[in-house]
Amino acid sequence: METATDAERIAQVNASGRTPVVFIHGLWLLPSSWDRWADMFAEQGYAPLTPGWPDDPPTVEAAAQHPEAFANKTVGQVADHYAEVIGRLDRPPVVIGHSFGGLLAQILAGRGLAAVTVAIDAAPFRGVLPLPVSALKSAFPVLGNPANRHRAVPLTYDQFRYAFANAVDEDQAKRLYETFAVPASGAPLFQAATANLNPWTEAKVDTENPDRGPLLIVSGERDHTVPRSISEAAYHRQRHNPAVTEFVEIPGRGHALTIDDGWREVADTALAFVRRFT
């Protein structure tokens, strides 16, 4: 469901005449996690848009008060939500996603809705086979209890430190947790975990659509949640597409690479790719 704020921002983006850039966040984060990226892309002449998942609370504080708002959001539901947002734009946007947002970005690109796509430490889709131990450990706070499929699940600081902030120091990890961490829907993790067992899964990507557009897959070298083997497997499936498909690893970075103090290096990498095609 599109919010009044989203509708107003979409109208502003259309009126600007600039190339839209839609940012899609992943689990345990909110649209505000993209604020610095949006400012940077706006300074470079683009029209950023940071719509949330359906029912996202407006702030981290509101999320703590109403964690139930995150429950039961599935990959298909959220993908359709973003497709609806994109459908209101006057031209196909650049789509940049992180984690499950990276999976959603590839789903939308596979529907032919993106002009250019950047998928950063993207969650796996059907056909991506590696299951690294660190990825399973990162997902265990959700997958360890089947009832979590229908719940909103928060991360403790220690769980966040392992899954997101393993590549930064303790002080920065605590600051990231306090600034950005919110509960997350358990459903997408169960969908991704069973994607290769379920032919009808929503966690699937049309990698062959000739209208997919250029795609950059970004991997953080030290990511526990989405290790390089997962990103590389997605790249090998995507590279058979007739459009440009590229892969880059950011040295020394974990899953928090879009929000930690080194975010600008990742944003510059994404911007350089986007500029080549817009």
Q: What is the pLDDT of residues 14-41, one digit of tens each?
A: 999 999 999 999 999 999 999 999 999 9
CATH architecture observed for domain 4-275: 3-Layer(aba) Sandwich (3.40)
pLDDT at 5: 79
Give 140-176 pLDDT, tens digit per residue: 999 999 999 999 999 999 999 999 999 999 999 999 9
- Rounded to whole angstroms, the Cα distance separating 21 from 38 reads 8
23-59 as b/e: b if 16+ CB within 10 A: bbbbbbbbbbbbeebbebbeeeebbbbbbbbbbbbee
- Rounded to whole angstroms, the Cα distance separating 269 from 278 reads 15
pLDDT at 106: 98
Task: Look up residue 232 and give its amino acid.
Answer: E
Give 107-148 pLDDT, tens digit per residue: 999 999 999 999 999 999 999 998 899 999 999 999 999 999
- Rounded to whole angstroms, the Cα distance separating 88 from 99 reads 24
User: Quick one: pLDDT band at residue 3, thresholds 50, 70, 90?
Assistant: low
Residue 168 · residue 261 · CB < 8 Å: yes
Closest CA to 97 of 147, 142, 33, 159: 33
pLDDT at 131: 86
Q: Is the pLDDT of residue 1 over 60?
A: no
Closest CA to 98 of 192, 38, 29: 29
